[in-house]
Structure 1
Amino acid sequence: MRCLALTVAAALLALPAAADTIRIATFNAALERPYAGALLRDIERGTEDVMAAVSVIAAVQPDIILINELDHDPQRRAALAFQQRLSEAGVDLPHVFTAPVNAGELTGLDLDGDGSLTGPRDAHGFGRWPGHYGMALFSRYPVGEVRTFQTELWRDVPDSRMPQDHFGLEAENLLRLSSKSHWDVELRLPGAPLHLLAAHPTPPVFDGPEDANGRRNADEIAFWLRYLDGEPVVDDTGEARPIGPAPVVVLGDLNADPADGDGWHDVIAALLAHPRVQDTEPRSQMAATLTGGVNAAHQGDPALDTADWNDERGPGNLRVDYVLPDAALEVVGSGVFWPMEDQPLAAEAAVSDHRLVWVDIRWDPASD
């Protein structure tokens, strides 16, 4: 059954990457679990949502993929078990990078004022346990140098949007910027390195008039603006240095649409327009048909949407997942894996409220 589905699904996309073409993808697979160890258990059991995510990735056949909402554990057991599931489905991605995230890392303070110090909103990033809502990068190519930016304080961000007097001085002095983490992961491609800039900012909702989550989402996205501009940023080892000259790809569920929904539209728009990267505007035929409910009032092109949210209460479908290649790279294809309802793997794709986004680049280091 799985082989048949994958064979049929191959017709929905371009052929898997050729020798000089690399397919890079991002996918919020919605595989988070409410307590530690549950995801590993479910991967080993092969639960429906796990196998649906595997089937979607196998249909796309990426060479590199960032998965958001894949819970992190210190031994990487869940990520390695998922890697094995991918291998069994014909997706050979032998190199895995994952690291701690701020979700579920308690601050020791009652940030939400409910009288408890141990709730999910009392952590540096919303989460029920350390590693909740983690992320992992799977690659056909070896991992080189990695810089992580998990611990930068929100208050220390230049022109920080942190709401004044909302959290209290003690919280302002320790709350981190990144709700999960920001990563600069070097991959050793043939002839030259490629740097993956990965993150999963907090959604700009679930707060009050102070707009704390909206402001934090904006500053998390603006982190990449600072980094791409060449600002020396202090990483988790304490070293401050700017981004290097190697080509980059910014990717992840950024939880922001440049035209619709909540959030600071100008910040994500600035990232899409940054001269260091290019926006290939991946799209799908299915998303273009979903214009009912609140979607009718949206300003953005519906074909670009990557998340399928409530059409009646809102926010409707939005573009929030991105793969933004370096402006110097040649792009030869892109898309959003969102099959039409009568096509194979439509049900599997709908297990997550996000859809996988992919971009193909021509890799020719001899021309660099």
Structure 2
Amino acid sequence: MPQDTVRIATYNASLNRAAKGKLAADLATPGNAQARNIAEVIQRNNPDILLLNEFDYDQDHTAVDLFRANYLEVGHHGQAPVSYPYAYTAPSNTGVDSGLDLNNDGDLGTADDAFGFGEFEGQYGMVLLSKFPIETPGIRTFRTFRWRDMPGNLMPADYYSAEAQEALRLSSKSHWDVPVRVDGETVHVLASHPTPPSFDGDEDRNGRRNNDEIRFWTDYVSGGQQADYIYDDAGQRGGLKPGERFVILGDLNSDPRDGGSWPGSIAQLLKHPRVQDPEPASRGAVEAARRQGASNISHLGDPRLDTADFQDHPAPGNLRVDYVLPSKNLNVCGAGVFWPEPGEPGADLTGEFPFPTSDHRLVWVDLKLPKGPA
């Protein structure tokens, strides 16, 4: 039976651990408090398609299967269990040793020398969960795309060695195009988790990389000549075709007006002619900014749109960094951020540091899919 609406969400769940295999060990039994709380957040919002950022990758997908069986498919505090029969996960650049001194500290093999920051391969990975079938043969990944191959890139050439410039990958985790079949229509789920624009020096290598990781999707959804330079991990070139439906989602680590992003980074998507911004919002974010004060007081952006509760002193304060951005040929009929005000149901699941779940909030958008050609 076709659904009237489809809810698509992104959630940086902070299900990362300090050692390889630790997440699967934590999820092997139903007693992990953080995982229970995250599962309840998901159950309360009940998305049909959900991207989880910061979910450690393992080759056998053990952690994903355990999270579904032991947490999502078990009701928490009166919430109905939720089942995701379809899931996709894949290797991440995090923790993959480049063999080079990428942070110029004279040492090799550190977390900063990996293609994406990480203590082990797959730390801070991604998982896509879906109630609808994933069109597996059509999946494209761009994990090995080299930064230097993006025309007009912002790589700081005076910072990286010639060897590093040749080898460095654009994606700090990966970029995925995962087609999902929703009631007979294909929606391309474009998932990523760009590096934070911080933890660097005056060269701003992470701010520049964040900008270009976001720009990748700008060019990809533009298609045509603008996407001719793009190649995926199987060698196929180009971007989306005109009229294809898509949703860009993930923790993109860029606020439109506040924080330390390269100027205009997220605006590349928010102002793109094929993209619409539903501006998911919450009252809880407004209350948190008011209550916490500090750097939030000087912010230029609307606090209703914040999606992350970051350190307030000295910076950056609460920011909008998590996005669900549908193509304009999809009909938006609702949007929100799960950030309850104190005393509202679920407020104990967000909280403040030390967070019972994550410093990010689940962001959702409801869509009505038009039938037939876009």
Structure 1 Cα separation of the partners of residues 372 and 156 of structure 2 = 48
Q: Tell me how far 1:278 sits from its aligned partner.
A: 0.5
Which structure 2 residues correspond to residues 27-46 of structure 1 after superposition, within 5 A?
Answer: 27-45=11-29, 46=31
Q: SS where residue 248 of structure 2 aligns?
A: strand
User: Which residue does the alignment assign to 2:281?
Assistant: 283
Structure 2 Cα separation of the partners of residues 148 and 33 of structure 1 = 24
Q: SS where residue 328 of structure 1 aligns?
A: coil
Out of 219, 231, 236, the residue aligned to residue 234 of structure 1 is: 231
Contact 1:53 1:349 in 2 (8 A): no
Q: Tell me how far 1:243 sits from its aligned partner.
A: 0.8
Q: SS where residue 88 of structure 1 aligns?
A: coil
Contact 1:308 1:354 in 2 (8 A): yes
Structure 2 Cα separation of the partners of residues 248 and 228 of structure 1 = 8
Under a length normalisation based on structure 2, what TM-score does the superposition of the two structures give?
Answer: 0.91
Out of 74, 95, 117, the residue aligned to residue 88 of structure 1 is: 74
User: Which residue does the alignment assign to 1:8?
Assistant: none
> What amino acid maps onto 1:104 in structure 2?
G
Q: Tell me how far 1:367 sits from its aligned partner.
A: 7.2
Q: SS where residue 69 of structure 1 aligns?
A: strand
User: Which residue does the alignment assign to 1:225?
Assistant: 218
User: Which residue does the alignment assign to 1:10?
Assistant: none
Structure 1 residue ranges (4+ consecutive) displaced by more than 4 angstroms after TM superposition: none
> What amino acid maps onto 2:240 in structure 1?
I
Structure 2 Cα separation of the partners of residues 366 and 178 of structure 1 = 34
| Farther-moved stretch of structure 1 (154-163 vs 238-247) | 238-247
Q: 1:103-126: CA deviations, max 9, x gaps?
A: 000001122234432211010000
Q: 1:115-164: CA deviations, max 9, x gaps?
A: 43221101000000010000000000111110000001111111010001
Q: SS where residue 267 of structure 1 aligns?
A: coil
Q: Tell me how far 1:239 sits from its aligned partner.
A: 1.1
| Farther-moved stretch of structure 1 (109-118 vs 33-42) | 109-118
Structure 2 Cα separation of the partners of residues 310 and 172 of structure 1 = 33
User: Which residue does the alignment assign to 1:55?
Assistant: 40
Q: Tell me how far 1:273 sits from its aligned partner.
A: 1.1
User: Which residue does the alignment assign to 1:3?
Assistant: none
User: Which residue does the alignment assign to 2:363?
Assistant: 357
Contact 1:256 1:265 in 2 (8 A): no
Contact 2:278 2:325 in 1 (8 A): yes
Structure 2 Cα separation of the partners of residues 88 and 67 of structure 1 = 18
Q: SS where residue 241 of structure 1 aligns?
A: coil
Q: 1:40-93: CA deviations, max 9, x gaps?
A: 111123311111111100000000000000000111111121122212231111
Contact 2:97 2:113 in 1 (8 A): yes
Structure 2 Cα separation of the partners of residues 306 and 106 of structure 1 = 31
User: Which residue does the alignment assign to 1:252?
Assistant: 250
Q: Tell me how far 1:36 sits from its aligned partner.
A: 0.9
Gaps in structure 2 of 5+ consecutive residues = 76-80, 352-356
Out of 90, 114, 118, the residue aligned to residue 109 of structure 2 is: 118
Q: 1:153-177: CA deviations, max 9, x gaps?
A: 1111110100012121111110100
Contact 1:257 1:265 in 2 (8 A): no
User: Which residue does the alignment assign to 2:332?
Assistant: 331
| Farther-moved stretch of structure 1 (61-70 vs 111-120) | 111-120
Contact 1:282 1:304 in 2 (8 A): yes
Under a length normalisation based on structure 1, what TM-score does the superposition of the two structures give?
Answer: 0.93
| Farther-moved stretch of structure 1 (123-132 vs 224-233) | 224-233
Contact 2:219 2:239 in 1 (8 A): no
Contact 2:331 2:370 in 1 (8 A): no
Contact 2:294 2:313 in 1 (8 A): yes
Gaps in structure 1 of 5+ consecutive residues = 1-17
The reply on whether 1:268 has 2:266 as its aligned counterpart is: yes
> What amino acid maps onto 2:87 in structure 1?
V
Structure 1 Cα separation of the partners of residues 231 and 240 of structure 2 = 11
Contact 2:57 2:89 in 1 (8 A): yes
> What amino acid maps onto 2:184 in structure 1?
G
Structure 1 Cα separation of the partners of residues 20 and 145 of structure 2 = 25
> What amino acid maps onto 2:321 in structure 1?
V
> What amino acid maps onto 2:10 in structure 1?
T
Contact 2:142 2:232 in 1 (8 A): yes
Q: Tell me how far 1:366 sits from its aligned partner.
A: 4.3
RMSD (Å), alpha carbons = 1.3
Out of 136, 140, 146, the residue aligned to residue 153 of structure 1 is: 146
Structure 2 Cα separation of the partners of residues 21 and 225 of structure 1 = 26
Contact 2:214 2:268 in 1 (8 A): no
The reply on whether 1:209 has 2:207 as its aligned counterpart is: no
Out of 1, 22, 42, the residue aligned to residue 6 of structure 2 is: 22
